[in-house]
A = this chain, B = another copy of it.
Amino acid sequence: MSKTEPRITLTEVARHAGVSRATVSLVLRDSPLVAAETRARVQASAEAVGYLYNRGAATMRGLRTRTVGLLVTEIDNPFFGELVAGAEAALEAAGYIAFLATTADSVERQQRALQRLREHRVDGLILCAAGGTTPQDIATLAGQGMPCVQAMRQVRGSRGDFTGADNLLGLEHLTEHLIRLGHRRFAFAGTAVMNSSLRHRLDGVETALRRHGLPAPLVLRTAATRQGGAEAAETLWRMRDRPDALVCCNDVVAFGAIPALQRLGAGIGQDIAVTGVGDVPEAANGNPPLTTVATDPRRIGQEAVRLLLRRIAQPAAAMEQVVLPARLVIRASCGAAMPLPAGAA
């Protein structure tokens, strides 16, 4: 059946309206060249014959595709869920649509996804780079003239647009708060695969501790997952000179650590403070509610889109790096809901 039906192209619209293909093309793109009367007639004809614009054909003459690639490590993590939601909404508002690809933190999968996105001629990329991505990888994209914004994670030593949370300052504030509550021996969990985001979080903890003359944190090289959080908790609880504060690299790790510690008999907030990073909606809702550093992933997604559209419009513009403030959210899991003095970001 699809053999016989003649597909409806701009030629059919032109025939129906009694004008040339060129005129129809101009009308479709709202060119001011065409007379108002003609425009109306053509639009009516397009409607009448059931015309559907073919973006692929237009792209062949070198036009933008109005698509971008959205590469994240995992979409089931609510943190990236929010980031993607923010980006998707901003793209939709700008008339763009996103190809979604996930890498599971594997550079091979990331490479395959990039190849496919380039074949589809995306206008640009929002990239939460997989661990192990090299500055050379980022430079290669730039060399191909592919606009690219790194979100959340910045490949160490790479150049280019970036947006993410102020992990360094956020974790400093968190650590200061824990110190003020009387905690002295710190552990940091979830560093099995390192990336710039994690690096800064750990740096923030170390900086604050150093400032107070306290020993560096114990670094637990477990996975940045629920499961990894549980493992970190078990390791930690078995120690002789056990830490009294467990700073998890993100909320999901804390969600894994807390029930594990509870099973082992720990009183969260009493025997040990546990904190996360991200402030995903579930954080307010745990047992106990989680003290965390809010990084506003939805906002990061929006900002990444803004940077990307700017880069697409002006490929040679100066590079821009937007670090969004991180906000300390104090709940019960750190032992005391003592608010910071006003003015602390």
State whether A100 touches B81 (Cβ < 8 A).
no
State whether B102 touches A89 (Cβ < 8 A).
yes
| Least Cβ–Cβ distance between A314 and chain B, in angstroms | 13
List chain B residues, Cβ under 8 A from A120. Answer: 55-56, 67, 97
State whether A53 touches B119 (Cβ < 8 A).
yes
CB contact between A97 and one of B74, B101, B259, B284 (< 8 Å): that residue: B101
Q: What's the number of copies of this chain in the assembled complex?
A: 2
List chain B residues, Cβ under 8 A from A340. Answer: none
Number of interface residues of A (CB under 8 A): 52
Interface status of A255 (Cβ within 8 A of chain B)? yes
Interface status of A4 (Cβ within 8 A of chain B)? no
CB contact between A85 and one of B52, B74, B113 (< 8 Å): that residue: B74
CB closest residue in chain B, given A89: B102
Interface status of A118 (Cβ within 8 A of chain B)? yes
Q: Which of A12-20, A37-45, A57-65, A196-204 contacts B (4 or more CB under 8 A)?
A: A57-65
A244 to B113, CA, bound (A): 51
CB contact between A287 and one of B82, B109, B116, B287 (< 8 Å): that residue: B287
Interface status of A88 (Cβ within 8 A of chain B)? yes
CB contact between A119 and one of B55, B92, B119 (< 8 Å): that residue: B55
Interface status of A75 (Cβ within 8 A of chain B)? yes
Interface status of A288 (Cβ within 8 A of chain B)? yes
A226 to B280, CA, bound (A): 13
A281 and B117 in contact, given A78-B78, A100-B84 (Cβ under 8 angstroms): no
List chain B residues, Cβ under 8 A from A92. Answer: 101-102, 109, 112-113
A81 to B101, CA, bound (A): 13
Task: Produce 1/0 per residue, A269-306, CB < 8 A to B.
Answer: 00000000000011011111000000000100000000
A interface residues (Cβ-Cβ under 8 A, vs B): 2, 52-57, 59-60, 65, 67, 70, 74-78, 81-82, 84-85, 88-89, 92, 97-102, 109, 112-113, 116-121, 145, 226, 255, 258-259, 281-282, 284-288, 298
